[in-house]
Amino acid sequence: MQAVTRSIAERLRGDGPSFSFEFFPPRDEASERQLWQSLRELERLRPAFVSVTYGAGGSTREGTVRVTERIATHTTMLPMAHLTAVNHSVAELRHVIGRFADAGVRNVLVIRGDPPGNPTAAWVRHPAGVEYAEDLVRLVKSSGDFNVGVAAFPHKHPRSPDFASDAKYLARKIDAGADFAITQMFFEAEDYLRLRDRLSSLGYDVPLIPGIMPVTTMRTIERSEQLSGAPFPERLRGQFADLGEDRAAVRALGIEQAGRLCRRLLAEGAPGIHFITLNRSTATREIWTSLQETVPA
């Protein structure tokens, strides 16, 4: 079994692009079985790492800790736990960080998080908590030997006034100690490339990993907008709408579009691809397989 203490930053410095997968904590026994079936199927692809989300408003904290611990101790995969500041005091955050450390989990994706119940509502800091993601980065870094990732937003964060300001916010998280960044999902390569250029113009070159979620149903489009806070490209929306109720055709187009996007990103120098799986493996495996035929190892 590979050492769980290896950092994601180390793996990103390896030869060839990295492939990684995002999962969310299950809510019942059926979704628990689905999660572990998908994890085992994707484990065969030897991902650089896998991540487990924290859930809206930090509501799935215990699930995140439990699943991440199990991945660390019962699989060959390197886990990364998401951590948000929502509704948590600094003492509570330190407790969760300690749980990760006790399980040998040394990779954490720091996200300030959205207000519970309404992601677009005004942010309200816990009275004894932290205000910004950069503060949470410093807290994790001060708690031990952790490799820390942060979120990046190709369409800018919904609360950022403009793209330039958003890039500066990302830079502040890097200054606080972030080792790499993973983007929110997007569907046009130019959105990622412009973000990378903005960050580079500020003098930063940390690994910026694209987050990719393929469209497999028309509902995925709505889901992507809810999760990212960014509009789905009208050009692509029209292509999917033209397929009407043909679910197989929608799925085929989504897989093809995602594969094309990944190939372009890797050709442009992206360090890897982080697939948002929604706890399903089939679409991700299909895209991964297509990439092996065109992307050198």
Q: Give catalytic residues, as residue numbers.
A: 22
The dihedral built from the CA positions of residue 207, 60, 228 and 293, taken in this order, carries a sign that is: positive
Rg of the chain over Cα atoms, rounded to whole angstroms, equals 18
**Pairing status of strand 79-84 against strand 107-111:** parallel
The span from the CA of 103 to the CA of 85, in Å, is 21
Which residues make beta-bridge pairs with 182? 151, 209
Torsion angle in degrees (nearest 10) through CA of 219, 220, 222, 224: 170
Angle at 65 between CA 59 and CA 69, to 5 degrees: 160
Q: Specify the amino acid at residue 103.
A: A
| Beta-sheet strands, E only, within 112-259 | 147-152, 180-185, 208-212
| Beta-sheet strands, E only, within 117-248 | 147-152, 180-185, 208-212
Torsion angle in degrees (nearest 10) through CA of 8, 143, 111, 54: 90
Helices 189-201, 247-267: inter-axial angle, 10-degree rounding: 30
Q: Is 166 helix (H, G, I), strand (E, B) or coil?
A: helix
- Integer angstrom CA distances of residue 187 from 10, 66, 200: 28, 32, 21
